[in-house]
A and B are shown apart, each in its own frame.
Chain A
Amino acid sequence: MTDHKLTRHDAAYVARLARIDLTEEELDLYAGQLAVVLDHAAQVAALDTAGVEPTAHPLPLKNVLRPDEPRPSLDRDAVLDQAPAVEDRRFRVPRILGDGG
């Protein structure tokens, strides 16, 4: 487990990853609050979990599948009516800098 304390720098990095603009004050505030929460959460680090399997979620289900059969799609107007910006039947966004992952 890490002894790392959440710094303002960490908070700024995380805010960038999460695509949320934060003011300087907010960065300070959140960094402080999160550090407190993480300290508390550090309890888990103390536990001996050697040989313990992680639980992704509590169900024993597997192989939940559906047949390859078409189902009705949404009416396009219903979809585009809720969009912030539309052009030529598509969702319009400001220019994209940089590539996708």
Chain B
Amino acid sequence: MTAPSASPTATGAGRWEPVIGLEVHCELRTETKLFCGCRNAFGDEPNTNVCPVCLGLPGSLPVLNAMAVELAMRIGTALHCEIRPSLFHRKNYFYPDMPKDYQISQYDEPINANGWLELPDGTRVGVERAHMEEDTGKTTHMGGGGRIHDAEHSLVDYNRAGVPLVEIVSRPDIRSAAQARLYAAELRGILMATGASDGRMEEGSMRVDANVSVRRPGDEFGTRCEIKNLNSLRSLVRAIEYEITRQVDVLESGGTVAQQTRHWDEDQARTGALRSKEEAFDYRYFPEPDLVRVVPDAAWQAEVAAAVGPMPADRRAALVALLGPDGTSGARTDQISTVVEHGLDDLMTAAVDGGVGAALALARTANEASAEPERARALDGAAYTALLRMEQDGTLSATQAKVVLTDLLAHGGDPAELARRHGFEAMAADSLSVVVGELIAAHPDEWARYVGGEEQLAGFFTGLAMKATDRKANGKAVAAELRARRG
């Protein structure tokens, strides 16, 4: 099922194959926290969205948020998982950002399991599980440049404590940093498409950890290291590449890779081991006695499935279909990915429905409109369609159309009016005809050869027409005029 999309790393002593799994923590877009009615909001004043439950005050009890379950199920559906009856477990460990010094999570009976995700190139990465758990508070380290290692003391804000998370664990099917990036980007698109997440890695609403090991092709999996603190797709790639090289170096010099958690340092561009205590990770999981089973029946699952709209892969497929055989070429694939990633497929599809050719619609949407994705998403579809039709029928040249589009994105408005303001009036059909006629008369030999079948001379006449009209002529209109005259 998995086709590695990158060949194993070859180094001096022979080939090594990286084996990568990603764990993605996704904050759910609910109004309130997982187990209490405090607001789930980013950036509020510290410790203002807290209550006895999310502070873990003595005597408090958790009550599960229905929307969080719904969103978790949507994620499971979108990732082709089995949606199962599930339990919550306590994961016991001490840390100041954990109000109860245990985290309510899911252990061996998660809500979603055994799914997969399809990358744009068609390969699949397995998804082992996508379970629910509560987020921790946020710690700020004071003194020592804000890094935990040199801090003098720390400050804790519990606004984030109790925010609902879904943790998505991939199978170790990924074979390169580039593929990891594709997976993370695709997953982000899916999470946004389900409405479960806003995908803002820089705000921490989607956090990625990477498990990396290397092996000789065909061998058992090697020892893996977990890499944390990856705040962007770029860090993800750099950190994984660094770690692969580090592990290969260790093994090739006869050492063994120690299983550890490593922290990616963006400034120093390296991973470093965190000080961790051997017994720190006996989590002593046991079923959460303050919560009861979650059993999504068939009716509920069907409701959720209906609420899950088309996923990025489905949307890409729809655009491919629009393009016909051209849809599957390499360049087109990238363009299609871009359109879907920026949420502009509806814009493009509307243009096609309005009579614009699919290839043109794709080119303008992928190349120009996606330069300003937010504005493009806000564009009036009718205006966009009208503009593309003006290019298509020769009223505007490609260059002119792009200028008007830039204007349209910046200010909105009516494309015809914008074109007039730029002086991009179409040449009247009869004045163009006059120009073409004059050129034919001036170049009888070339005309005879064109009429005789030398198609490439259309370009000769088109070039001259452009010069003669100060580039106001539309190349396609000229070509059409020539063909019409030839008969």
**Chain A positions near chain B (C-beta within 8 angstroms):** 13, 16-17, 19, 56-57, 59, 61-74, 76, 79-80, 87-101
A56-B287, A91-B96 as given contacts; A96 in contact with B139, CB under 8 Å: yes
Contact call A74/B52, Cβ cutoff below 8 A: yes
Report the separation of the CA atoms of residues A63 and B50 in the bound assembly, to the nearest whole angstrom.
25
B294 interface residue (CB < 8 Å to A): yes
Please report whether the interface of chain A is mostly helix, strand, loop or mixed according to DSSP: loop
Q: List 10 A-B contacts (CB under 8 A).
A: A16-B279, A68-B68, A73-B51, A80-B47, A87-B153, A89-B45, A92-B156, A93-B155, A101-B93, A101-B283
B91 interface residue (CB < 8 Å to A): yes
CB < 8 Å neighbour of B154 from A19, A59, A93, A98? A93
Contact call A70/B38, Cβ cutoff below 8 A: yes
Contact call A66/B63, Cβ cutoff below 8 A: yes
- Using A62-B292, A89-B46, A93-B155 as known contacts, list a sample of 6 further A-B pairs with CB atoms less than 8 Å apart, ordered by residue number in A: A56-B289, A72-B51, A88-B46, A92-B154, A96-B141, A100-B97
B151 interface residue (CB < 8 Å to A): yes
- Which of A64, A68, A79: most chain B CB closer than 10 A? A68
| A74 cross-chain contacts in B, Cβ below 8 A | 50-52, 55
Please report whether the interface of chain B is mostly helix, strand, loop or mixed according to DSSP: loop
The 3 closest A-B pairs by CB, nearest first: A71-B37, A68-B67, A90-B155
Report the separation of the CA atoms of residues A15 and B228 in the bound assembly, to the nearest whole angstrom.
29
Within 8 A of A (CB), among B302-339: none
Q: How far is the CB of A86 from chain B (nearest CB, A)?
A: 9
A71-B36, A91-B96 as given contacts; A98 in contact with B275, CB under 8 Å: yes
CB < 8 Å neighbour of A96 from B32, B148, B279? B148
Contact call A64/B63, Cβ cutoff below 8 A: yes
| A96 cross-chain contacts in B, Cβ below 8 A | 95-96, 139, 141, 148, 151, 154
| Chain B interface extent, by class | 35 or more
Number of A-B contacts (CB under 8 A): 146
Within 8 A of A (CB), among B150-189: 151-158
A91-B96, A95-B152, A101-B95 as given contacts; A70 in contact with B47, CB under 8 Å: no
| B51 cross-chain contacts in A, Cβ below 8 A | 71-74
Contact call A98/B152, Cβ cutoff below 8 A: no
A59-B292, A101-B95 as given contacts; A79 in contact with B47, CB under 8 Å: yes
Contact call A91/B156, Cβ cutoff below 8 A: yes
A57-B289, A62-B295 as given contacts; A73 in contact with B48, CB under 8 Å: yes
Contact call B47/A65, Cβ cutoff below 8 A: no
Report the separation of the CA atoms of residues A94 and B142 in the bound assembly, to the nearest whole angstrom.
10
Contact with A along B209-234 (1 / 0, CB 8 A): 00000000000000000001000000
Report the separation of the CA atoms of residues A64 and B290 in the bound assembly, to the nearest whole angstrom.
11
CB < 8 Å neighbour of A13 from B151, B153, B279? B279
Contact call B37/A97, Cβ cutoff below 8 A: no
B136 interface residue (CB < 8 Å to A): yes
A90-B157, A95-B152 as given contacts; A101 in contact with B280, CB under 8 Å: yes
| B94 cross-chain contacts in A, Cβ below 8 A | 19
Within 8 A of A (CB), among B368-406: none
